[in-house]
Structure 1
Amino acid sequence: MLTESYLVSVTGQPLANNTAVSKDAGIYEHTLHPSHSTTNTFKKSSTPRNCLAVSDTHVFAAQDEKSTVHVYSRAKGNQEAVVTFPERIQSVALLDDVLFLGSQEGRLIIWEICTGRQVTTPACHVQAVTCIAATPYHLLTGSDDANVHVWSIPRLLELDSTIEHEPQETLSNHRAAITSLVVGQSVNPDTNICVSGSKDKSCIVWNYQLGIPLRTLLFPSFPLCLALDPCARAIYASSEDGSLFAIDLFAEKALLGPQSTEESSTAVQVSSAFGATPQDAGPASCMAINYDGTILISGHPHGQLLRWDLSSRADSTELSNLNASVTSIVFTSPLPTPRPTKSVTVVKPFLGSRTYNFTAQLDSDATEETRFSKMLQSKGVPNDVIEQAILAFQAPVQDGVGDQELRRENEELWEVINEQRALQKKTLQRYIEAKSANA
């Protein structure tokens, strides 16, 4: 059976003298399936909202009102490093081996955790970067200045130090600070969406690559946090008054796509909530949806972790009470994407030009001898590899299916050209003969 896990961070001092909860624990790792349990804890961390990132091997937690990030080893369960940055960190996001950090001064800091390379952008936001969302090719940053910037990740990771780092798009329809930002994982420019929540009591669904607002959602009170269905079919929002809303984007009256009956400029009032958090828990400050989109877990300022069954929309059940304000929830995929290499250690960032080394572990079975293992154990290039390369250069080029098709079309065109030339030659000959006869 697949096990599904998630990590939770808390901030602040313990709320009560609860001896069942460790006072030093700041990050908890829980197993959701097959039965809920706490599998690991990481100590000495006070993590604010949107400041927790998790990889297969490590946990990264920015510290509240500080410029430091604590790095924890998931295998050992201990703190591996403390990394200091020049500015206070307000948000983090991890994509493969790259950690993106939003600063209080409005900058974006990029840290390659496998090499230590660090890149810092100008202060493109005029206020703090409060939330970050990432896709394989784009990064989105939301700020207290009410703007959302869309960045090209390949351009941010460009090795040329003279490249100017500027946003690809700026989404600027909000009128107050951005509170939450979620993005779908589609890479199609026509279907990829992101959703931004703001203190102006609205959420906007965007086609972020084109910079086009697709739909504006209005709420009774401003949304504190958002969660997006894994297939980007629905949006879940927690508001300041403790209500939880579910917005189906492709229901009978679709809000997006060709089935939508209204113009995209028409705002939609969202008033009916599918649930309300208990008064003793407070409004949800963070939410996350599991791998198959059937369970939503919300974290609350009074320490509660609540589970919501999205298929039945039943009342919530309490999973745990962590005795401190819950700030972030991050699910780990039960089916991680296979990668050929795995970083052994986290390299602290270094700002400046130098030579970077990449040390990795080959994630494969080395019991059987392969062509690669033979090359790895040989001094220089093996003779058989050189001979194969020479024979490959000497072998005649084999036409592919595309080359054969092009050659056939070329021959047909030459037949037409030769026919036209013969006709032109015959016409010219008759003209010369007629001209000679008249003379």
Structure 2
Amino acid sequence: MLSEEFVSAICGPPLSSNTAIAKDVGIYCHTLSPTYSIKSTFKKSSTPVGCLAVSDSHVFAGQHEKAYVHVYSRIRGNQEAFVAFPERIRCLTLAGDVLIIGTTEGRVMLWETCTGRLVSTPPRHVQAVSCVMATPYHVLTGSDDSDVHVWSLAQLLELDSTAEHEPERTLSNHRAAITALSASPSASADTNICVSASKDKSCIIWNYQTGDALRTLLFPAFPLCLSLDPASRAICVGCEDSTLYLVELFADPPLLGPQAEDAATVTQVSSTFGASRPDAGPASCLAFSYDGTVLLTGHPKGQILRWDVVDANKTPVELANLNAAVTNLVFTPPLDSASARRTTRPANIVKPSQVGGTYVLTTQLEPAAHLGPPSRLDDMLNTPGFSHDTLVGAAAAFEQQSAVAAESDGSEAGQEMRKRIETLEELLDQYRTVQRQINKRRS
């Protein structure tokens, strides 16, 4: 059975003098199923909302009101590095081995953790970058200036130091600060959707490649956090009044697709999914499990609540109380297909450097067992002459062609095919004879 794991982060001092909770712990690694437990912890971190990123080997935590990132090794279980940046960090995320950072000055910084290369854009946002999301080919940044910029990830990582960094487009329908972003992992231009939440009490669903606003959702209170479910079929939104909303995109009537109403139609969302307990406060972060059946919410009073999405009874279960404001929840995928395709991974992160020049890439090869089974090309390269499987396949193809030729022996085309097959069979017999002689000499 696959185990579900997630990482949580807290911010601020302890809420009470509870001696049962370890001191100085700022990041927790949890196992959700089959049985809930706290797997490991990392100390000395105060991570605000949106400043936690997790890879298969490291945890990156931006510090509250600081220009620092603490890097923890998940393999060794300790703090690996303390990394300083030129500006205070407001949010961050990962795109492969690249850490993408939004600053209070409106800039976007990209740190290649394998090489130490640091790329910084001009302050294209006039206020702080409040949230950042990475998709397979794009970076989305939301700001307190109410705009969402869409950047090309490839252009941001160009090696040309003279290239100007400009967003591809700007999504500017909101009238107040952006509070949260979520995007689908799709690489198709038709299904590249993202959702932005704002203090104007609205969420807008966008096709961020075209810049089209597909639907506007209005809420009774302004959203603090949101997330698309893993299949991008629903949006969960947590608002400041402690309510949760689950908006299905393809219900009846659908909000998206060919059967949906005109995109200019504004939808008022009033039916709640649930409400947080009064002693917990509004959800400051939320996350779906990998199969979308479980929703976790983190709260400023220290609780992590578990919600069963498919259960009609929307009573949450308290998983843990961390005795400090829970600000981040990140699920780790049980099967990381991207990591499975990689033949190398960073052994250690390289601290960023703003000085251009030669960069050192330090990696270690994975054991051969993780490189996958030998391909057909590998077998052919390592076999003298043609491999046995290739000869068997060729013989089977000749026999199939012989059967076809036998059916049309009376025609001129059939006779010509028969001659060609006989010639190929003679060549194959000659090759087998030569191969046997070579094998005898070697033995």
Q: Equivalent residues in 2 for 1:118-133 (5 A)?
A: 118-133=118-133
2: CA distance, partners of 1:297 / 1:88 = 29
User: 1:232-243 to 2 correspondence within 5 Å?
Assistant: 232-243=232-243
SS in 2 for 1:155: helix
Written as runs of structure 1 = structure 2, the 5 A alignment for 1:20-419 is: 20-260=20-260, 262-313=261-312, 314-337=314-337, 338=340, 339-365=342-368
- For residues 244-299 of structure 1, the C-alpha deviation after alignment (integer angstroms, 9 at most, x for no partner) is 00000000200001021x21100000011010000000000000001011000000
Structure 2 distance, partners of 1:257, 1:265, is 14
Name the SS for the 2:247 alignment partner: strand
Partners in 2 of 1:106 and 1:23 — Cα distance? 34
* Counterpart amino acid of residue 16 in structure 1: S
**Partner residue, 2:405:** none
Q: Runs in 1 of length 4+ with deviation above 3 angstroms?
A: none
CA distance in 2, matches of 1:312, 1:254: 22
Amino acid at match of 1:344: A
Label 1:248 to 1:70 Cα distance change in 2 as closer, same or farther (>3 A): same
Structure 2 match to 1:402? none
What residue identity is the alignment partner of 1:312? D
Instruction: Report if the CA contact (8 A) 1:343-1:359 is conserved.
Output: yes
Partner deviation per Cα, 1:275-327 (whole Å, 9 max, x = no partner): 00000000000000010110000000000000000011421000000000011
Cα deviation, 1:96-144, whole Å, max 9, x if unaligned, reads 1000000000000000000000000000001111111111101100000
Q: CA deviation at 1:352?
A: 2.1
Give the Cα separation in 2 of the matches to 1:317 and 1:371. 48
The residue that corresponds to 2:435 in the other structure is: none
Taking only the aligned residue pairs, the percentage that are identical comes to 59
* Distance in 2 (alpha carbons) for counterparts of 1:4 and 1:367: 22
Q: CA RMSD in A?
A: 1.9
Which residues of structure 2 form unaligned runs of 5+?
Answer: 376-380, 386-443
Specify the SS of the correspondent of 1:154: helix
| TM-score, length-scaled by structure 1 | 0.83
1:403 maps to which residue?
Answer: none
Unaligned runs of 5+ in 1: 373-383, 389-439
Q: How many residues were matched structurally?
A: 375
Q: Offset of 1:182 from its aligned partner?
A: 0.2
The separation in 1 between residues aligned to 2:355 and 2:188, in whole angstroms, is: 35
Question: Is the CA contact (8 Å cut-off) linking 1:340 and 1:364 kept in structure 2?
Answer: no
CA distance in structure 2 between the aligned counterparts of 1:52 and 1:225, rounded to whole angstroms: 14
Q: Secondary structure in 2 aligned to 1:257? A: coil
**Which residue identity does 1:246 align to in structure 2?**
L
Note the C-alpha offset of 1:366.
6.5
Distance 1:371 1:186 in 2: 30
Q: Distance in 2 between matches of 1:302 and 1:57?
A: 30
C-alpha displacement of 1:346: 0.4
The aligned residue for residue 432 of structure 1 is: none
User: TM-score, normalised to structure 2's length?
Assistant: 0.82
- Cα gap change, 1:371 to 1:330, in 2 (>3 Å): closer
TM-fit CA distance, 1:367: 11
Q: After alignment, is 118-127 or 357-366 more displaced?
A: 357-366
